[in-house]
Amino acid sequence: MLPWTAALLLAFLVAATAVQQGFVRFRRRARAYLIQTADIQWVHPTASGMVCAVLGYNLEVDLLNTYAVRWRRRLNETVLFEELAAALRRQVPAVTPPPFPLVRDRIFPLLKRTAALPPEAGYVRGNRIVRRPLDDQISVAYVIEGQHRMTLVTDAMPESWRVTTDHLHRLAVDNLQTRTRHILDEIGGARTEYVSLDGFDAARLLVAGLIIPPGMADPLLAIPHEHACLIAPATEIDRLAAQADELFTSAQSPLTPRLYRVGPDGPVPTE
């Protein structure tokens, strides 16, 4: 082999290796950006990119083209990753609402950090998650309880069922009240801690009148994470606040370290 041919081949191999390493680093940065969103999860890498799950749907991402676009258009990576996330959300198939009579008794409210919910922008309208604010940090979402999973209620569902979001909320809270009464019968009545009972522990803040122990004066409630609702009288506010803060800090599904009082129109933060 001629020396110049060998040198050319070596230069090509070095360049190809550099491009491959650059792509791997780019894919790592893309993954880091996507998984910090509320609705996109990394599944596994592929030769040309990765597979991500968006609202439970596996979608393949061709990052080689995205990598090429980055260099051709000299885009800021944050802008590029925002466009990538938006493109993924648009690929999610439109939801097919289940028949209302089959699910109406299995619709429940679920408290979520608003920042942890999928964004309202990017999805086709019917795929947007139905939500209503509890306060400036927490939102009420709605789920259909299945045998092995919960399905978030999206805009397409109440439209198909011909119910308003207010009706949906009342139905979900009524179902939670019924479920809570059964649980209270099983555990011997109201108590001061409801932790990891059925996945709707924090949501019981919405039916506080059922779960506050009888005779407790000026009760305060805490929902440090999705699977806990704690209750104590106002005389124990420091202890309850410390417990809520500790559980919030260590939780996998944190909500808020705030404490709540029950007002005439529902729970109100004490702060």
Q: What is the pLDDT of residues 50-88, one digit of tens each?
A: 999 998 889 998 888 877 776 666 778 888 888 889 989
pLDDT bracket for residue 3 (50, 70, 90): low
Q: Six-digit token pair at 210? A: 């059922």
161-201 pLDDT, tens digit each: 999 999 999 999 999 999 999 999 999 999 999 999 999 99
pLDDT bracket for residue 269 (50, 70, 90): very high
What's the pTM? 0.84
What are 268's strand-pairing partners? 261
Residue 102 confidence (pLDDT) above 60: yes
Q: Which of 23, 175, 178, 158 is nearest to 98 (CA)?
A: 158
Helix pair 77-91, 3-35: axis angle to 10 deg: 60
What length does the chain have? 271
Contact 237, 220 (CB under 8 A): yes
For residue 10, the model assigns a pLDDT of: 46
Q: Transcribe the chain into DSSP letters.
A: --HHHHHHHHHHHHHHHHHHHHHHHHHHHHHHHHHTSSSEEEEEEETTEEEEEETTEEEEEEHHHHHHHHHHHT--HHHHHHHHHHHHHHHSPPP-PPPHHHHGGGEEEEEEEGGGSPPSSSS-GGGSBPEEESSSSEEEEEEEE-SS-EEE-BTHHHHHHT--HHHHHHHHHHHHHHHHHHHHHHHTS--SEEESSSS-TGGGGGGHHHHSPTT-SSEEEE-SBTTEEEEEEGGGHHHHHHHHHHHHHH-SSB--S-EEEEETTEEEE--
Residue type, 81: F
Q: What are phi and psi of 186, to 5 degrees?
A: -75, -35
Mean pLDDT, rounded, of the chain: 89
For residue 12, the model assigns a pLDDT of: 46
Please indicate whether residue 18 or residue 131 has the higher confidence score (pLDDT).
131
Residue 15 confidence (pLDDT) above 50: no
> What percent of the chain has a predicted confidence (pLDDT) above 70?
90
203-256 pLDDT, tens digit each: 999 999 999 999 999 999 999 999 999 999 999 999 999 999 999 999 999 999
Residue with tokens 């803040």: 205
